[in-house]
Amino acid sequence: MLDLHFAPELRFFLTPRRRHGPVRVETEPTSTLGHVVQSLGVPLTEVGSLRVNGHPRPPAHRPCPGDIVDVLAVRWPQTPPFGHTRFLLDVHLGTLARRLRLLGVDTAYDNDRDDQALMEQANAEERVLLTRDRGLLRRRDLRAGAHIHQDHPDDQLREVLERFAPSLHPWTRCPACNGALAPAAKHQVQSRLEPGTRATYEAFSRCRSCGRVYWPGAHHPHLARIVHQAQEFVSDRST
């Protein structure tokens, strides 16, 4: 038998009957520590370190009967293993994807990818996979991922900013496709504008990838509030 002690932040992933106190489990001699932890529902993406009888051990370690295992949560802010911070979001996080792009955070999103394709893209492009699907995070070959706990997009955004502290560069990415935005003179884009827009606005930007044109229209105050609140949140966390 193994005695596993999970950090409070990780007990959410356990079944309700196992969320209070140590978890005692039987294990096969060939089972690794990582396999035991994930078999209980806790993705290794959420684990900061593992200790066996007080000593650090990797997920590949094979524990022995009677061992006491401490499963510690990842520390925030978290540094991804790639040397940079960029994300891939699953189908359920479309609003969060658009808000991260609004803040200039490199964020890939596709609402028509299965789990295997998401994992392969995240690994190939060195992105942190953000999802609310715990099963997806428990895939063995996933290099970096994170579970989004919050339900509302405002709270989800704060969660990502607090956990990963990405650099913010507002108004530099296309909310629709993640491409880079560049200033555009009015005469360069006027053929794509409605008459009322041509008559009212003078400042424009255009996506280098998909060609969409943006201007500070009626929706701009709402977007500006999102940007301002995010910047204030990041500033408060750094002081």
What is the residue range of 52's domain?
A: 2-73
Q: How many domains does the chain have?
A: 2
In a domain, 132, yes or no: yes
In a domain, 98, yes or no: yes
Q: Are residues 37 and 94 in the same domain?
A: no
pLDDT tens-digit profile of 124-175? Answer: 999 999 999 999 999 989 999 999 999 999 999 999 999 999 999 999 999 9
In a domain, 21, yes or no: yes
In a domain, 82, yes or no: no
Q: Are residues 116 and 218 in the same domain?
A: yes
Contact 23, 3 (CB under 8 A): yes
State the residue for tokens 């969660």: 159
Distance, CA of 49 to CA of 58 (rounded, Å): 8
In a domain, 154, yes or no: yes
pLDDT value of position 121: 97
3: which residues sit within 8 A by CB, 6+ positions away? 22, 23, 24, 67, 68, 69
Average model confidence (pLDDT) across the chain: 96
pLDDT value of position 111: 87
Q: Are residues 28 and 91 in the same domain?
A: no
Q: Are residues 56 and 91 in the same domain?
A: no
Q: Are residues 95 and 67 in the same domain?
A: no
In a domain, 123, yes or no: yes
161: which residues sit within 8 A by CB, 6+ positions away? 230, 233, 234, 237
Q: Are residues 131 and 191 in the same domain?
A: yes
Give the pLDDT mean for 191-198: 93
Distance, CA of 71 to CA of 33 (rounded, Å): 10
Q: Are residues 53 and 158 in the same domain?
A: no
Q: Which parts of 66-219 are beta strand (E)?
A: 68-73, 87-89, 107-109, 128-131, 145-147, 181-184, 204-207, 213-214
Domain of residue 29, CATH code: 3.10.20
Task: Answer with the one of 29, 48, 73 that is the final residue of a domain.
Answer: 73
Give the pLDDT mean for 183-193: 94
In a domain, 78, yes or no: no
Q: Which residues pair with 200 in a beta bridge?
A: none
Distance, CA of 51 to CA of 230 (rounded, Å): 36
Q: Are residues 128 and 63 in the same domain?
A: no
Phi and psi (nearest 5°) for 230? -65, -45
Q: How much of the chain, in percent, has pLDDT values that exceed 70? A: 100
In a domain, 197, yes or no: yes
pLDDT value of position 110: 86
Q: What is the dihedral of CA 114, 116, 117, 120, to 10 degrees?
A: 160
CA count, 13 A, side-chain hemisphere, 204? 22
Task: Answer with the one of 25, 45, 73 that is the final residue of a domain.
Answer: 73
Distance, CA of 116 to CA of 224 (rounded, Å): 36
Report whether pLDDT(239) > 80.
no
In this prediction the pTM is 0.94
